Amino acid sequence: MSVARNTGNILFNDVKKLTFVPCKIGDVFEGTWSTHWFRVELKVPDRWVHEKREVHFVWNSQSEAMIYREDGKPLQGLAGEKNNNLRDCFVLFRENRSNYTQGIFYVELVCTDLGGNFNNGNMCDGLNMHKRCTLEECHIATFNREAWDLYWDFKVIYESAKQLDTSKESRADQALLIGNEIVNTCVPKDKSTYAPSRAVARRFFATKNPGSQHTVYAVGHCHIDMAWLWPFSETRRKGGRSWSSQTELMKQYEPFSFCASSSGLYEWVEHDYPKLFEEIKQYVVSGNQKFFPVGGSYLEFDGYLPSGESMARQMLYGQRFFKHHFGKYCNTFFLPDTFGYSAQLPQIIKKAGMRYFLTQKLSWSRYNKFPHSSFNWKGIDGTSVLTHFPPADNYCSQGHLDEVLKSQTNFKDKGRSNVSLMLFGIGDGGGGPLPQHIEQLERMKDVDGIPKVVLGKSVDDFFDALNKDRKNLMTWDGELYLELHNGSYTTMANNKKGNRLSELLIRDAELFSTLVCILEKKNAHYDWKQLGEVWRKIMLFQFHDVLPGTCIGPVYDVTDKEYPLIIKYLTESIEKSVAMLADKALAGHLLDYEFPEAATANTAVVFNSLSFPRKDHVLEWEKDGAKVYSKVEVPGVGCAIYPVSVLEKCIIDKPFVNVEVKENIEIESPKLRVVLSKGGRVLSVRDKETKEYNLPDTEKEVIGPWKNYKGGNILLLHDDVPIYWDAWDLWIYYQETATELLAHSHIIEKKNHQVKVIYSYKISDKSTLTQAILVNGLTKRIDFETNVDWHETHKVLRSYFPLNIRADSVVCDIQSGNLRRPTTANTSWEMAKHEICSHKFVDMSEAFYGVALMNNCKYGYSAQDNVLGLSLLKSSKGPYDKADMGKHDFTYSLYPHKFSLPESDVAEESFKLNVNVYEVWKQSTLADKKEVRYIDIQKPKIILDALKLDEEKRNTVILRVHEDGGSLTSCPVKFGFGIDAPVLVNILEEKVSRYEIVESDGKVVKEESEMIASGANDVHLKLKPFDIVTIKFGPLLPGK
């Protein structure tokens, strides 16, 4: 045996280039995630082979490891922890199963535990970067299979004696008697007693189950977090270790089945371990399938934080990978471990070609137990998906009898169905099923007193059985809210900001690139490779521990590096595309930059990617060396061209927002009267366009009362000390302690169209906050532009706005729609929602008036009585001890409006807060304003989610919209160019006639959403509430 130390994280192709030196048992290896390669030459004694003894290679390095064949084929993962995770043997020789009797093998040792590596074993004490591993064992040994079998016989019988219900039947007593007889028969040092002892055990297992028993489908599973208490780079190796262990078990056990999600992890395994990937492929596509891809998504993403379009792309990339490599799409969406589930997911699941959904995380809820195990889950658009929560309440069972029994006793839909699913295998840090898991479950397949256990089947097989009972099952309508981990809406704020910016920018980058391709009638301008890589990074960082902010520091070292690069690339892509579009828009008027007289640009081309016009954009430009501001209007999905001569007529040359400093700071615009305190509170906001109580000479007051506070924008610093899950949780008792922050100074900046009051705060001796409150005369939106230098410990910073509104619910912006949530705490279910997840806004409205609280990168809100709150920053210390420390900048906004949300322009205003316009200056001969409308969506509540080229042939155009107002809508869409052969497609970009997405009593019902082609450059869409509709048209010519 020899070793090459500290090689770095290399692939096998580079291993044989290493220099190996002798090593011995007892050698120590140090450095968390450090890599050490061993070359092991072994030979099984001929006598053992002749006697057909089973021979194992035994390895324990107190760490994770993997054994390779000499040709680089990964054989099996190894784990040296002295607990239930121990996997220290690889079968070298076993008749009809394994035949490695001699040769050279390589072992990759990684200094890490299967889980995390923390000082004192506490994730709040920081990472231990000096993990030490000792090579304890490396040898070959014979294995007594009969003794092993007897042990597991006795183990199951022993557990039956302990756990079966003695009040109902005699099986527990029978197990006790038979177990006692085994003890009397077996003499451990006398191998000849093993067979008679097993014969005794068979008497217990011979009594079969009656046909009415509950049936548990047991499927092997290995939950591998793409990053969590380890970096992304280590997950790639966990994939190889875990999945090679499962293909090895498939050789040793029949029946045995295993499921694995996340096409992104499959991609990593394909790249890093091509021989293993080919073996997996054979186990997927063979007639005796044992390896079952599930999930249909790129990875197991967070269920609340990504946008609707991001979720659609997760499905698109995942399903395409599975179809390309394995010949079929996944049928079950698989998301067992995220921290809540958006009410828009059922529609996205169905339109991505899947029928079923599996999760279990709601079993973690702290106040209320979810009432169902199997049910129909209905989303905000009415789509229903058959859903199952494994009643063992986990996704990494160990195959124990108590878990099988719990699958029956904890099953909440008895009488309606009699089947459940159990996922077994070591999880989170990978590993998967161990031999002992299968041994126990195999013995419980058909034994009286124990639920029937079905092995060797797939998750889809289980759901197909459950689907027969679907007409009996209850329906849950709305989100699946996890009553825990709601601090994850806020932790690692800059990471969440990077996600929001990336989602919005890649939308615009694709849109403008596609418009260039359409106008050029070829796809050459579309950067397929780079846009695909950017999407993969965005999706990777949406993993359900990464985006929520619950990973260790090295994970965020990667995202902190990558997000700026993503944003830079997308920004440059947009700039390049809009410059080309500007040239086309100015066709016939554009001057050549090469001529000296064309040295000064004299025409602004302003682009709007949103599906509605922007009528209040202020363009900053220079005239005679001084900055001036012009009010411009830009059509939806189009551009407006303003020659300087026209811009001059639009200059805001007189102030129409006034400020006066008295005891307080009083600001008046054409729309609002705002009173600010010198400490930074918003004391009053009066809407000049709305009468109070419909009385003449009155103005609607927006700010309402709350406790002993006066005004809005109440900045409170709360203690945030969760019971256990530090980065994850925000327990309700945080509300019991609060320190109000008041500004110690302010300055006022004035422009003709706006007033900005800049406040300075001292949060503590370590932390400061600067906030500019901006009142713009062109809108009712009041912006709070905030900069924080944050260095707190176990604190949460929140802003509160008491409103002069009476409402028992609020409406929250979610993926491709919105969701109503209570402001009351009448029940424990309502009380548990003290912190809720929303994207761009939460709106509190009465019948004819409302107020929205918006943001540009936040997700954690509260809505209690008349008070809207927004979580700005947390300061957890585990698992990342420097989480959120440093500088932050963000904006939140208060937006009063007429009418309730559906009749208002709240959604449009929230998009304006989040999405830029793009300005290009050109030299032209144009004298008048000109508008170009590329796509004219003629209903305000139809939001454009994506305009891109298709993934398959890359020469047709994909357009996706959603209905955002919650009503049946008929919407014409006109194009500024000709369109060929428009068809309705699903998220996978496959043609459908109508969406078949609502299943009732097990029958498919035709959905009303459809597209009616009505001309050479227009289509007519019919959408139901919160409908996501995708169309495809083309083709374009291939580029060169």
Beta strand 849-855 pairing with 1010-1015: unpaired
Token pair recorded at residue 587 = 């066709």
Residues in the chain: 1040
Residue with tokens 């709240």: 906
Q: Residue 692 carries which DSSP code?
A: G
User: What span, in angstroms and rounded, lies between the C-alpha atoms of 552 and 1001?
Assistant: 46
User: 164 to each of 157, 158, 174, 865, how far by Cα in Å?
Assistant: 10, 10, 10, 49
Residue with tokens 């066709």: 587
Residue with tokens 């890649």: 506
Which stretches of 5-99 are assigned E, i.e. beta strand?
Answer: 21-22, 28-30, 35-43, 54-60, 64-69, 74-79, 89-94, 98-99
Token pair recorded at residue 858 = 């936040």
Sign of the C-alpha dihedral, residues 720, 724, 728, 733?
negative
Q: Which residues contact 612 (CB under 8 A, 6 or more apart)?
A: 636, 908, 911, 937, 940
Identify whether the C-beta of residue 583 lies closer than 8 Å to the C-beta of residue 885: no
Helix axes 308-326, 493-520, angle to 10 degrees: 70
Beta strand 356-358 pairing with 384-388: parallel
Q: How far is CA 228 from the centre of its chain?
A: 13
Return the amino acid letter for 347.
Answer: Q
Identify whether the C-beta of residue 234 lies closer than 8 Å to the C-beta of residue 64: no
Q: How far is CA 662 from the centre of its chain?
A: 49
The count of other CB atoms within 10 Å of the CB of residue 875 is 22
Identify whether the C-beta of residue 785 lies closer than 8 Å to the C-beta of residue 888: no
Beta bridge partners of 666: 660, 675
The count of other CB atoms within 10 Å of the CB of residue 1000 is 12
Query: CA 139, 92, 326 angle in degrees (round to 5)?
Result: 130
Which stretches of 95-169 are assigned E, i.e. beta strand?
Answer: 98-99, 102-110, 132-134, 137-143
User: 235 to each of 111, 335, 496, how far by Cα in Å?
Assistant: 14, 18, 22
Closest CA to 892 of 672, 742, 657, 682: 682
Task: Please provide the distance, in angstroms rounded to a whole number, between the alpha carbons at the two ends of the chain.
Answer: 55
Mind telling me the catalytic residues? 337
SS3 sequence, 442-484? HHCCCCCCCCEEECCCCHHHHHHHHHCCHHHCCEEECCECCCC
User: What span, in angstroms and rounded, lies between the C-alpha atoms of 705 and 803?
Assistant: 7
Helix (H) or strand (E) holding 374: strand 374-378
Q: Which residues contact 325 (CB under 8 A, 6 or more apart)?
A: 266, 270, 281
The burial class, CB within 10 Å (0-12 / 13-18 / 19+), for 287 is exposed
Residue with tokens 């062109």: 778
Token pair recorded at residue 621 = 């430009």
Return the amino acid letter for 269.
Answer: V
User: What span, in angstroms and rounded, lies between the C-alpha atoms of 708 and 720?
Assistant: 22
For the chain, give percent helix, strand, coil, nearest 5.
Answer: 25, 35, 40
Phi, psi of 220 (to 5 degrees): -65, 145
